[in-house]
Amino acid sequence: MLQGSARLAPRRPPGEPPLFAYPNGIMDAPTGSPAKAADDLKSWVAAVAARTRPSHVHWCDGSDAEYRRLTEAMVADGTLIPLHERKQPGSYLHRSDPSDVARLEDRTFICSENEADAGPLNNWKSPAEMKAILDPLFEGCMRGRTMYVVPYVMGPPGGDAAKVGVEITDSPYVAANMRIMTRMGRVALEELARKGHFTKGLHSTGDLSKENRYIAHFPDEDLIMSFSSNYGGNALLGKKCHALRLASVQARNEGWLAEHMLIVGVTNPQGETTYIAGAFPSACGKTNLAMLVPPVADRAQGWSVETVGDDIAWLRFGEDGRLWAVNPEHGFFGVAPGTSEETNRNALASCRANTLFTNVALKPDRTVWWEGLEPAPPECIDWLGQPWTPDSDHPAAHPNSRFTAPAGQCPSISDRWEDPQGVPIDAIVFGGRRSRVMPLAFEAFDWEHGTYLGATMSSEKTAAAEGTVGELRFDPMAMRPFCGYHIADYWRHWLEMGRKGNAGGGDKMPKVFHVNWFRRGEDGRFLWPGFGDNMRVLEWIVDRVQGAGDAVETPLGYRPTREELHMDDLGVSAEDEEALFAVNRDDWRAECDQRDAWFDLCGDRLPPELRQQNDALRERLG
C-alpha cells in the first residue's frame, strides 16, 4: 500500500544521477514533531516513486523560473497554447479530453472505515476495497513521466487556520494550476516545519478512461487518491478534495467550519465594513457576487465591496467569541461562460494576464472567447480544436470552461484577504437557482432556523457537475458534493457551533439570510435584474446586521420592504415585486413535504431540531 511503510526507490546504474534530490536545508527539520513530518514526507515520496516508477522526480519550489519551465515544456509538447503576448500576457489555453470536463460525483468516494459515517449523499467503499482497486492502477503508471512533488499551504501561512498538503502528480498542468491556486513550494515546507503534519494527495492522469477514474478520500488517514482525470476539481487536490471534503472532517473534529462559501466585505458610507460569507452551488452567481461592482449611484454614496474569497471559507471562533473566516485559496478557478464586462468586470480583469484558460474558444488573434464575453460571436476555434462559426450547432466554449487566475490580480481584492487571523463574519447568505417558489430575499429568525434554511437549500443543476442541467436537487449549504462525512452529522455540527457561539448570553453568531436571483415570471423572464443590482440586497443585509433596515415578517422569515430595495429606482413594477416575494402556500406545503422526504434519508441521525423547524414552517403556512 502506498500509504504504508517506506519502500526504497528503484536502484539506479552506477554514476547515474539520483532519481530525486530533496530541497537543501528545508527537509533537514529540527528535532520534534516537525522532524517526524519531514521524515514521513521523504518516506512517502520514496514509496510513491517505487510504486509508480517515474523517469524523474521534481520537487516544486513555487518559483517564477519553475513556472516558466513548466509552461514552456507544455507549449513545446502541445499541452498549452500561448496567447497573445500583449493582449493576454503570460496566459495559455489548455484543452482537456472531452470526457474529462467536470466533477464526476459518481466516481468520487468517501472511504471512511465505517460506511455509516459517509452518509447517504456520498459514495462509499472501505479503505481496503478502494486501495485494492487503486494500487494496481498506480503500479508503474508514471513510467516515462516526471513525478511532481507539490507542497502547498491552504490558508495564509503563519496563522492558526493554515493547513499543509503535499500533492504528488504526473501532470505538469496540475502543478502549474496548483502554483496559482495555492501557496506552493518552499513556503509550504517551511510551514510544515512549524505545523508538523500534512495532508497526502496522490494523483495520476492515468489513461483518462472513465472506467478507471476514481477520486477517493480517506478521512481516517488524511489521504486523497485520484486517478485518470486531469480536470480541476478531480485533480487539483488542494481545492475541493482537501479544502472541503477532508477539511470538513477536520473542522468537525477540531471545532470549526470548512465551507463552500465566498467572503466579501461591504463598506457603507460611514466607513463601516460588514463581512459576509455566502454559499451558492457552482455556476449560480457566487463569483459574480464575490466580485460585485456596486452601481454608480451606490458608489457615489460611498458604498464599496471588497473580495476576500470567491469559493471556500474556513471559519473559526476568535478570541472575541465571533466567527472569523479565511480564504484558504490563493487563486480563482472561475467559470468562464457568462463572464463579461457587464456581469463581472473584476473577474475579467483578474484573468487578463498570467492565467490558465481551460476549454474556452480561441480567436484568430490568439485571444480567448466564450459565450457571453462579447455581444457578437466571432469565428474562432472551439474548445475541441475545430473551426466554429455563429451558425455552429454547439457552443464554442464548453459550458464548464474555466480560468485559473491569481487572486491578487483582482481589482476588488481586500487588503485583508491574506490576514492570517481572517475577517469577522457578520452574516451568512445561502442562495440557489430557483425559477419559482423561492422569494428574492429573506432573513432567518435565528441560527437554528438559518441552519434549517441551509440544510434545505435546493437549486437547479448547472454544468459544473455531470447530470441533467436544470434538474432540481437539494444542495445543503452548497456542500452536497463536498461534505466528507454524514450530512446529518454535519448539520448537527452547525447546530453545536451555534450553541457554542451563543453560550453565556449574547448572540454572537452571524445573522443568516437566503437569496434567489433567478426567480422568473409567468412569461419566463427574470423578475430581478441581478448582477450589480444585487448590491441593494447586500445593503439591506448590512442594515439588518447593524440593527436597522425595515423588514416584514412572513412564514419563511423577514423580507425587505420595497423602500429598502429602492424598487422605484429600479423600475420594478408592483406586480413584479409581488411575484418576486410571493409565498404560495400550496407550493410551500408541497415544499415542506419534499423536505420531510429529504430528511428521511438521514434516518435516526437527523438532528430533531431540523424536523421541528420544518413542522413549524408548515404551521406558519396555516
442 annotated as belonging to a binding site for a ligand = no
531 annotated as belonging to a binding site for a ligand = yes
* Cell digits of residue 483: 461534505
Burial 60-81 (b: 16+ CB within 10 A, else e): bbbeeebbeebbeebeeeebbb
Cα 266 to chain centroid, rounded: 21
Partners of 57 in the β-ladder: 147
533 annotated as belonging to a binding site for a ligand = yes
Q: Among the options 111, 241, 284, 410, which is catalytic? A: 284
Please answer whether residues 61 and 186 qualify as being in contact, where contact means their C-beta atoms are separated by less than 8 angstroms: yes
197 annotated as belonging to a binding site for a ligand = no
> Distance between CA atoms of 500 and 508, rounded to whole angstroms?
10
> Distance between CA atoms of 396 and 380, rounded to whole angstroms?
8
Q: Between β-strands 92-94 and 356-358, what pairing exists: parallel, antiparallel or unpaired?
A: parallel
103 annotated as belonging to a binding site for a ligand = yes
Burial 426-449 (b: 16+ CB within 10 A, else e): bbbbbbbbbbebbbbbbbbbbbbb
534 annotated as belonging to a binding site for a ligand = yes
231 annotated as belonging to a binding site for a ligand = yes
233 annotated as belonging to a binding site for a ligand = yes
**Distances 376 to 64, 389, 392 between C-alpha atoms, Å:** 37, 11, 14
Q: Residue 305 is inside which H or E element, if any?
A: strand 304-309
7 annotated as belonging to a binding site for a ligand = no
* Cell digits of residue 579: 411575484
Using DSSP's 3-state secondary structure scheme, residue 514 falls into strand
228 annotated as belonging to a binding site for a ligand = no
What are the backbone angles phi and psi of residue 454, rounded to the nearest 5°? -65, -40
> Distance between CA atoms of 225 and 138, rounded to whole angstroms?
10
589 annotated as belonging to a binding site for a ligand = no
532 annotated as belonging to a binding site for a ligand = yes
380 annotated active-site: no
401 annotated as belonging to a binding site for a ligand = yes
> Distance between CA atoms of 474 and 216, rounded to whole angstroms?
23
**Distances 352 to 91, 510, 540, 561 between C-alpha atoms, Å:** 8, 35, 33, 40
Q: Which distant-in-sequence residues (6+ apart) come within 8 Å of 265 by Cβ?
A: 273, 274, 275, 276, 305, 306, 308, 414, 416, 423
126 annotated as belonging to a binding site for a ligand = no
122 annotated as belonging to a binding site for a ligand = no
287 annotated as belonging to a binding site for a ligand = yes
Cα 270 to chain centroid, rounded: 32
Q: Which distant-in-sequence residues (6+ apart) come within 8 Å of 62 by Cβ?
A: 179, 183, 184, 185, 186, 187, 188
416 annotated as belonging to a binding site for a ligand = no
> Distance between CA atoms of 383 and 394, rounded to whole angstroms?
10
344 annotated as belonging to a binding site for a ligand = no
200 annotated as belonging to a binding site for a ligand = no
Q: Would you say the C-alpha torsion 231, 232, 233, 234 has a positive or negative sign?
A: positive
285 annotated as belonging to a binding site for a ligand = yes
Q: Which long-range contacts (CB under 8 A, 24 or more apart) does 38-43 make?
A: 38/192, 38/193, 40/198, 41/166, 41/192, 41/198, 42/6, 43/5, 43/6
Cα 508 to chain centroid, rounded: 26
402 annotated as belonging to a binding site for a ligand = yes
Cα 256 to chain centroid, rounded: 17
Q: Where are the beta strands (DSSP E) in 476-583?
A: 511-515, 551-553, 558-560
Q: What sections of 122-185 are H helices per DSSP?
A: 127-138, 172-181
160 annotated as belonging to a binding site for a ligand = no
| Residue set of the binding site for Mn(2+) | 240, 260, 311
| Residue set of the binding site for GTP | 283-288, 402, 433, 531-534
| Residue set of the binding site for substrate | 103, 231-233, 282, 400-402
| Residue set of the binding site | 103, 231-233, 240, 260, 282-288, 311, 400-402, 433, 531-534
Which residues are annotated as catalytic? 284
